[in-house]
Amino acid sequence: MNQLMSNIKNIPGVVGVVIFKDNGGLVAYDFPEAYDKNLLNRMGLKFQPIKEILPQEEGEIVYLCWEYEDLLAFYYPVGGGWVNIVSSDHIPMPVFSLTMTAVASKLPKLLEEAEVPQAQGQEQPAAVTAENTVPQEQLEKLEKFFATYLGPASAVIFKRAAHHLGYTLNNIPKDHLTDLLQGVIARVPGDKKDIVTEKIREMSINI
């Protein structure tokens, strides 16, 4: 694992590397000290649903790359996990591609063997624990309720409102339910908005 990390870190322009398992567990990292482990753990939780949300018919991702003012952030999926890399925008892409192809062939076996220890005193952020997320039955009930006003698009609108908040419908925290519903209500035709809001309140949901 260390050898692979070092191979990536040695690509000119690479600032930091972090490797995660498919479940969002942090396996290894080499980031400047200013970025602490809790920040990297939170990063894992945000990127973890990507494989799940991409439509099957889209095919496999080679990589995703967000371009900022002078930095790039890569998401590179491999079997069993993924690698996040932050680099300067002058990274030599042929070197990057060759290195990552080699990494992708070796990393799955290492990820399979890797144990992800829960650091002492480190709590999993509340957003992902089952008791803190909105139960699926409640979401299904709400989707059905909104279908009366939004038609068959209700499910898509729900999903989109969750994505707009940076979550999926599987991990939306209970304390974000109001934000989710406000996003959905915004799509209800104007003359029905008040009725919908009132009915939601009758379900004992603060809105």
Partner 1 sequence: MGDPRNDNLASLSNMLNSLKEVESYIITDMEGRIHMASTENYDENTINSTIYLWVTGSRFGSEFNMGEPENLIYYLKTRKMLVQKYNEYLIILNLIDIAKFPVFKRKLYDLFNRII
Chain residues in the site for partner 1 (CB under 8 A): 35, 39, 42-43, 46-47, 49-50, 53-55, 57-69, 71, 73, 86, 156, 159-160, 163-166, 168, 183, 186
Name the residue nearer to partner 1 (CB basis): 39 or 203: 39
Least CB distance to partner 1 at residue 170 (A): 12
Q: Please enumerate in sequence order all residues whose Cβ is within 8 A of that of 155, keeping only pairs 6 or more positions apart, or say none.
A: 143, 147
Least CB distance to partner 1 at residue 115 (A): 26
Q: Tokens 């379900």 — which residue? A: 203
Name the residue nearer to partner 1 (CB basis): 76 or 80: 76
Least CB distance to partner 1 at residue 3 (A): 26
Query: How far, CA to CA in Å, does 134 sit from each of 80, 155, 196?
Result: 27, 16, 20
Beta bridge partners of residue 14, listed in sequence order: 87
Name the residue nearer to partner 1 (CB basis): 18 or 107: 18
Kindly state the tokens that stand for 33. 């000290």
d(CA 207, CA 100): 47
Least CB distance to partner 1 at residue 98 (A): 15
The 8-class DSSP code of residue 59 comes to -
Name the residue nearer to partner 1 (CB basis): 39 or 98: 39
Kindly state the tokens that stand for 7. 């191979």
